[in-house]
Amino acid sequence: MLRWIVFVLIYLGLSFYIVQALRSLFRQPWVYLVYILVSLAILVNFIYQFTAGEEAGRVLSRPKSYAFGFLLTMMSFKLVIILFLFSEDIFRILSGVYQKLFGESKEFSLPERRRFLGMIALGIAALPFGALLYGMYKGKYNFKVLRYTLEFEDLPDSFDGYRITQISDIHSGSFDDRKKIEYGVDLINKQKSDLLLFTGDMVNNKTEEMLPWADLFSTLEAKDGKFSVLGNHDYGDYIAWETEASKQKNLQDLKDLQRNMGFDLLLNEHRYLQKGKDRIALVGVENWGKGGFKKAGDLKKASAQIHPNDFTILMSHDPSHWSEEVLHDEKHYHLTLSGHTHGMQFGIEIPGWVKWSPVKWRYPHWAGIYKELGQFINVNRGFGFLGYPGRVGIWPEITVLTLKKKTLT
């Protein structure tokens, strides 16, 4: 309760502070009255959804996600404006103090707010405000196909030109537009890759979230099959279960559902993909994550029966597994496929120029292709979304990887 009181007081304090600026900028009272009403509506909805709303507790339902999204949007607007206003107020106070100490009148008075600075603040604040609203309206389904060609000296000849489609982080419990998801699934199939790999987090918490979408994702196909692994959200660790047995049943139901959808779910296991006399090894581990995330992945067990010289592709949901264990393992994993980070669903990407997201401070390998010690990893930005119900700058991704035999010169 104390946390809610502190939060409300801070929110209302920021709102009141901004109203003072709006009153100096606009003569029409309706402008700041609209701001007050919208700001209060967002606050009340957020408090309701996270206290007395449907599915109260730790389940992040769609209403909760949107309540959080609108709060985040409004807070970004407030904070940008306050950054300008607070800076100006410091200048105004210093000017007043100077006038008191050294001025002719010896009176303390604050200069009026500069209207042009307030207008600049509003203009700049409108950018993240609009971007976050766009991210919720359209950005979350702005699917992008990203293509990479990777060269390997020891790639078996028969696999030269082999195409792999990777998707990750479906988070079906967050979906709210079937036609958009149908478009995304169709886009995956249009790639007509040899192999389809899903690298975890099919649901947010419960298997039942995937049931309305299972028939649609069952239509995914690839010539050499489709394979999957589990992500941290698939275990149901982030909600309270009535019993441990119900939690384990939920996990087993998800495993069964993935198999019924046509996925070969790899639980610390491997498979061989054969083309004529050539083959490559596909290894799938359960979730292994640094910093408090579940460490069910067992790399040694999964690859115990693989020949050391086999060309090997690893599916591991969390990219921290690559840097912490995979890179320095005695087995050489030519290509690792991960997801998990979502690219934080927020950032700036201009191919060939800039790639930035705050998530880089948590995950050094957070999106796209990286190469170290002769080994590649691709970190998929995710198909779905979680928490903030949108994406800004970091769009939902379908990855197409083409394996090429590197010619020696």
Tell me the C-alpha distance between 190 and 186, whole Å.
Answer: 6
Among 107-116, 138-147, 162-171, 179-188, where is mean pLDDT lowest? 107-116
Tell me the C-alpha distance between 257 and 210, whole Å.
Answer: 9
For all residues of the chain together, what is the average pLDDT? 91
| pLDDT level of residue 22 (50, 70, 90 thresholds) | confident
Residue 53's alpha-carbon distances to 46, 47, 67, 173, 182, in angstroms, are: 9, 9, 11, 17, 30
Convert 12-24 to b/e letters by CB count within 10 Å (16 or more is b): eebbeebeebbee
Identify the CA nearest to 82 among candidates 118, 109, 114: 118
By the 8 A CB rule, do 151 and 405 touch? Answer: yes
Residue carrying the six token digits 């597994």: 321
Alpha helices by DSSP H, listed for 244-290, are: 244-260
Exposed, middle or buried, 361 (CB in 10 Å: 0-12/13-18/19+)? exposed
Residue carrying the six token digits 């995950």: 363
* The pLDDT value given to residue 44: 94
Name, in order, each residue with C-beta under 8 angstroms of 328's C-beta and a sequence gap of 6 or more.
373
Among 14-18, 226-230, 285-289, where is mean pLDDT lowest? 14-18
3-state SS assignment for residue 401: strand
Angle at 16 between CA 13 and CA 22, to 5 degrees: 145
28 pLDDT higher than 90? no
* The pLDDT value given to residue 56: 47
Identify the CA nearest to 349 among candidates 364, 368, 327: 368
pLDDT in tens, 352-386: 899 999 999 999 999 999 999 999 999 999 999 99
| pLDDT level of residue 33 (50, 70, 90 thresholds) | confident
Beta-ladder partners of 376: 335, 371
| pLDDT level of residue 275 (50, 70, 90 thresholds) | very high
331 pLDDT higher than 90? yes
pLDDT in tens, 302-328: 999 999 899 999 999 999 999 999 999
pLDDT in tens, 215-226: 999 999 999 999
238 pLDDT higher than 80? yes
By the 8 A CB rule, do 375 and 334 touch? Answer: yes
Tell me the C-alpha distance between 95 and 107, whole Å.
Answer: 11
Angle at 50 between CA 47 and CA 54, to 5 degrees: 115
21 pLDDT higher than 80? no
C-alpha gyration radius of the chain: 26
* The pLDDT value given to residue 109: 63
* The pLDDT value given to residue 89: 73
Over residues 48-72, mean pLDDT: 80
Kindly state the tokens that stand for 187: 């886009």
* The pLDDT value given to residue 151: 97
* The pLDDT value given to residue 368: 97
Could you tell me what percent of the chain has a pLDDT over 90? 73
Tell me the C-alpha distance between 262 and 218, whole Å.
Answer: 6
Q: What is the Cβ-side half-sphere exposure of residue 28, based on CA atoms within 13 angstroms?
A: 4
Tell me the C-alpha distance between 17 and 359, whole Å.
Answer: 31
Over residues 129-137, mean pLDDT: 96
* The pLDDT value given to residue 191: 97
Among 23-32, 76-85, 109-118, 181-190, where is mean pLDDT lowest? 109-118
By the 8 A CB rule, do 302 and 266 touch? Answer: yes
- Look at 91 and 159; give whichever has higher pLDDT: 159
Identify the CA nearest to 288 among candidates 280, 296, 300: 296
3-state SS assignment for residue 314: strand
Over residues 50-55, mean pLDDT: 72
* The pLDDT value given to residue 266: 98
Tell me the C-alpha distance between 175 and 84, whole Å.
Answer: 37
Q: How many CB atoms lie within 10 A of CB 386?
A: 17
Kindly state the tokens that stand for 297: 């992945």
DSSP string over 115-139:
HHHHHHHHHHHHHHHHHHHHHHHTG
Over residues 337-345, mean pLDDT: 98
Instruction: Domains for the chain: give ranges and CATH numbers.
Output: 2-137 (no CATH), 142-405 (3.60.21.10)
Tell me the C-alpha distance between 86 and 15, whole Å.
Answer: 13
H-helix or E-strand spanning residue 386: none
Beta-ladder partners of 146: 399
Kindly state the tokens that stand for 364: 């050094």
* The pLDDT value given to residue 57: 46
By the 8 A CB rule, do 299 and 325 touch? Answer: yes
pLDDT in tens, 283-298: 999 999 998 899 999 9
Tell me the C-alpha distance between 38 and 44, whole Å.
Answer: 10
